[in-house]
Structures are given as structure tokens and as C-alpha cells.
Structure 1
Amino acid sequence: MALADHLRELRNRVVKSVLAIMVFAIVAAVYHKQIEQFLLQPLPQCDKQNPGNVHERCAQVSNIGLTAGFNWMLKVVLTAGVVAAVPIWLYQVWAFVAPGLHKHEKKYAIVFMACGAPLFLAGVACAIWVMPTMVKMLISFTPSDTTPILPPEDYFDIATRMVLVFGFAFEFPLLLVMLNMVGIVTGKRLLGWWRGMVMGITVFTAFATPGADPVSMLLLAMPIWALYFAAVAVALLNDRRKRRNNPDADLDDEEASHVDLTVHAVDSAEAVSASAAPTAGPAPVPAARHEQMDDIT
């Protein structure tokens, strides 16, 4: 297709993805109170009626501002829409890329579709599991004689960011496997990058996690490290399979080209007779003679 057609196709895929997210966001808006209570569970809230009956540090949730509740409600429902619509927008990504793939590459894209949504949801579950530890760690930095007052907008901003960051971070190893499947990068090269990958993942988690504590950073980095080495193992097994089926799989195209050194007999060339008598001008060449001369040339 032309560039304008590709742009229109991209626009249609983006519109379909956004519409799916909006539909699920509208459904989430109906149950936004339940979703908010679920996200507030990791937060140790203080008992307002009996504040002295607290065995560990707590935080008091206080809404500040008239429109603050509406703002963080929008963040919660939009994040829920993105999470719930993950199979749909992943399919739209695949449908946009699939026409440019070969038949064997489309098979790998289907595997990407089958594994992409569960990995994203696994990242979301990991974020929810890490959230209580991160919250307790951040609250522990406050002075002992004070009670932290936490606006819900700030807390939900951290929670939604954690959910999305963990979800997209868990897609990174799958991307490495797909690059290996289509032959862009080998498993040996991925294994050689392990030091840089570990450092890059650590730096990414340091900037991606809302809290500055090392606990939440490591809790995010360790699953991605494990998924990275799992992706390397899958890539090495795939390279071994390719090498078993094709001994020249690790060679370049020029190196893998076979040179045929077999000597074959050459057929005798057909003789072309020249005109015996010279003529004043160029004599017309018959069609049969012309084709014969072209063949011998």
C-alpha cells in the first residue's frame, strides 16, 4: 500500500483500540467504587474512631479539592479500560503488522498474540502484589510522631502508574523472543548482552517505579530479569532447532551460498556464415538470421 493508505490503516486500528478502551472504561465507571476500594486495600488506613488502636504506621486518606474525586476517578476507570481491553488492542497491533509478514512469520505473530495478553495481566498482578510492600516502605520514612495525610489522587496516580508500567514491562521479553523468531537477533547475542540488559532493566525500574525506595525497584526488576533469561533460553533452543534443520543457519547469506564446482560439457555453438560479397550498404538481415546472431552473441 501507499504511505497514505498505511496511515489510514493505522488510524483505523488506533480508533478501534481507543473505542474498545472507552467501552471498558464506561463499564468500569459503573463499578468505580469497588475498583477504588480494591486499590486502597494495600494502604494501611488509620482508624478514625479509635486512632490509638494502631499497631503499625498508617496513613489518613483525605480528599482535597472539589474536582479531585472526579479526576482520580477518571484515572482509575481509564486504567481499568486499558487493562480489560488488552486482548483487543494487542490484536489491532497484530492486524496492522500482519500484512507485511511472511507466512511463517504470521505463525509467530499468533504466538505473540496468545502470550501477550497473559503476560500483561501477569505484570498487573505483580504490581498489585508489590503495592503493599511499596506503600509500607514509603510510609516508614515519615517521622514517628506524625500521621501522613495522603490525597487519593496522589495514591491512585502511583497505583495506576505501577499497573501500567508492570504490564508493559512484562511484554519486553516476549518482544526479544519475537525478534529471535524472525531471525533479527540470535540467542547467543542476547546472552552476550546480559550485563547491559541487567543494568538497563535496573535503571528502567529505578525511573519507572513511583517510589524512590530500592525495595519496590528490585521487586519490579527481579521478575523482568527472570523473564529476560527465560527469553534467552527460548531463543537458544530456537537457534538449536534452526541449526538442526539447516546447518547453514548461523551463516550469512553470502557464506551460506553453495558453490557448484561440477564440470558440465558445453554444447557446440552454431556457426554463423558471413556474406561472401561486400555490398555498398548494409544488407537487410533476415529475421531467422537476426535471431540466430542474437543467440550466438
Structure 2
Amino acid sequence: MPLLEHLRELKNRLIKALIGLAVGAVGGWFLYDPLIVALQEPVNRISEHTGGISALNFPSIASAFDFKIQMAVMIGLVISSPVWIYQVWAFVMPGLTTKEKHYSLGFMVVAVPLFLLGIFMGWTVLPQIVHALTQFTPAYVNNQIDVREYVEFVTRLLLSLGIAFIVPVGLVAANMIGVLPGKVILKAWRITVFLVFVLSAIAAPGADALSMFMLAVPLLVLFFAAIGICLLNDRRRERRRAKAAAETDAAAGVATSREDLEKF
């Protein structure tokens, strides 16, 4: 395809993605209030322990309106993700080989549910995290939390756990393309287990260890499942190489006929 056709195709894909984002933002405008109520619930519980006033705070007159528009766009980006992800896929797909298409499609099919699972786990432990980080507030002292900083904190938490859940898929993808052998991943299992528990302790710093294990166990299961898949793929790759080498040696031991030599 000529360069001009590529640019025209890119423009069409961008327009479709922006239309999907606009439709999703309209839906995000109406979902804004229920989402803020759900986000505010852990903050409201702070007063039960401190005795003071705890609430989300808008620092200026127009900040509430600006924040609602930003949140509507952010929610619309999430709602319209199937649309713009497909547009990116459709633009890149013609340049991929059949094998690359299968690998990339398999990666998307597995990574998206795991990413959503990580976000769900982060949402589950959010109240415990808010309680753990605000339990040092002195008695009868108010917690007026800036709503922008709070939403940014929640977003980072959810994205961090979502990305943590798709790291094993990235390891498998790196192994499939021959960059990272399974034995190399297996050698680092002690460090990985330690880092998983550290991440779980940071993400769920409550007084009980149940929240930490609720995050650590799924991550460890995914990690060791990824190791198993990588080792099986390495074994399959070695068998294929051995078979190809054996066929090459067998062909090298066969004398070339006079007819083939004359043709050559």
C-alpha cells in the first residue's frame, strides 16, 4: 500500500476511534455520579475511626465542573476501549504474518481479562488501603481530601495491579518469540515470590494478612503457570530443532545422483 493510502487508512481509524470515545464520554457523563459515590464510601468511613469530618473536597468553584468533564472522558476511554483497541488492531494487522497474528490475538484474548481481574482485585482492597493510610490521623482531626489527588491515587493503584496481572502474559509472549527462555525465568522464582509479596503488602497494607494473600496467591499462580507454559514451549522448540537437525544429517548422508549433478 502506498504511503498516502496508509495515511488515509490511519485517518479513518482515528475518526472511528474518536467517535467511539465521544459516545463513551456521553455515557461517562451519566455514570459520573454513581462512580463518585462509590469512590467516596471508603473516605466516609474514616470518620468512624477518627471522630472528625472526612470527605472529598473541591478546592475551587469551577473545579467540580472541570473534574466531571475529565472523569467523563476517562470513563468514556474505558467504555470505548473495545472500539479503539480494535481500530489499532485493524490498522496493524495487514502488516503481520499469520504466525504473528495468532500470537498477538492470543495475547489480547488472555491479557484483557487478566487486566480487568487485576483492576477488580484493586477495587476490592481499596477500602482497606484507605483505612490503613489514614489510621494515623489524630482523633477529632478532619480529613479533607482533594478529589483530584484521591482519584489519581485510585487510578494508579488499579492500573498497577492490572499491569501486574498481565506481566506473566508478557513473559510468555517474550518466550514465544524466543527472547526469554523458560529456564531463565525459573531461576528468578525466589526473587519473584518476594516481589509479589512486597507488592501485595503495599497494595493491601491492612492489619490482617488475608488481603495480602488474596492478592499474592493469584499473582503467584499466574507466574508459575507462565513458567510452565514457557518450559513446555522451550521443550517443543528443542524437539523441533533436533528433528530438523536429524533430517539435515540424514539428507547429507545420501549421495547426489548423476542426474541432479548434471542439472546443477
Q: TM-score range by the shorter chain?
A: 0.7 to 0.9
* Partner in structure 2 of residue 164 of structure 1: 159
Q: 1:156 deviation in Å?
A: 1.9
The answer for the alignment partner of 2:111 in structure 1 is 116
Which is worse superposed, 107-116 or 124-133? Answer: 107-116
Partner SS state of residue 61, structure 1: strand
Asked if 1:35 is matched to 2:35, the reply is yes
* Residue 258 of structure 2 is aligned to residue 263 of structure 1: no
1:135 lines up with 2:130 in the alignment: yes
1:101 corresponding residue in structure 2: 96
Number of paired residues? 256
Measured after TM superposition, the shift of residue 73 of structure 1 is: 2.0
Structure 1 position 215, deviation (Å): 2.1
The one-letter code matched in structure 2 to 1:85 is S
What is the alpha-carbon distance in structure 2 between the residues aligned to residue 35 and residue 200 of structure 1? Answer: 32
Query: How far is 1:129 from its partner?
Result: 0.8
CA contact (8 A) 2:129 2:204 kept: no
Shift of residue 139, structure 1, vs aligned partner: 0.8
Shift of 1:125: 0.9
User: Matches of 1:92 and 1:261 in 2, distance apart?
Assistant: 53
Q: CA contact under 8 A between 2:50 and 2:137: conserved in structure 1?
A: no
The reply on whether 1:186 has 2:181 as its aligned counterpart is: yes
Q: Does structure 2 conserve the Cα–Cα contact (< 8 Å) formed by 1:166 and 1:220?
A: no
User: Cα RMSD (Å) of the superposition?
Assistant: 4.0
Task: Name the aligned partner's letter for residue 144 of structure 1.
Answer: A
Q: What is the one-letter code of the residue matched to 1:262?
A: V
Instruction: Give the whole-Å Cα distance in 1 for the aligned partners of 2:38 and 2:67.
Output: 14
Structure 1 gap segments, 5+ residues each: 48-53, 271-294
Letter in 2 for 1:21: L
Q: Which has the larger radius of gyration?
A: 1
Query: Residues of 2 paired with 1:226 and 1:25: CA distance?
Result: 36
Equivalence for 2:145 = 150
Residues 7/229 of structure 1: CA separation in 2 closer, same or farther (3 Å cut): farther
Residue 205 of structure 2 corresponds to 215
Alignment of 1:239-254 (within 5 A): 239-240=234-235, 242-243=236-237, 247-249=239-241
Q: Supply the distance in 1 between the matched residues of 2:155 and 2:98 (Cα, whole angstroms).
A: 38
CA contact (8 A) 1:72 1:157 kept: no
Match of 1:234 among 225, 229, 248: 229
SS, match of residue 253 in structure 2 = coil
Instruction: Verify the 8 A CA contact 1:17 1:89 in the aligned structure 2.
Output: yes
| 1:110-140: CA deviation from partner (whole Å, max 9, x where unpaired) | 2223223312221221121121111001111
Do the aligned residues in 2 keep the contact of 1:120 with 1:167 (CA within 8 Å)? yes
For normalisation by structure 1, the TM-score amounts to: 0.67
C-alpha deviation, 1:214, in angstroms: 7.3
Structure with more relative contact order (C-alpha pairs < 8 Å, separation 6 or more): 2
- 8 Å CA contact 1:69–1:153 kept in 2: the answer is no
Task: State the identity as a percent.
Answer: 31
Q: Residues 150-176 of structure 1: CA distance to partner in whole angstroms, max 9, x if unpaired? A: 222222222233233333443332222
Structure 2 residues without counterparts, runs of 5 or longer? 207-211
1:265/1:71 CA distance change after superposition, 3 Å: same
CA contact (8 A) 2:50 2:138 kept: no
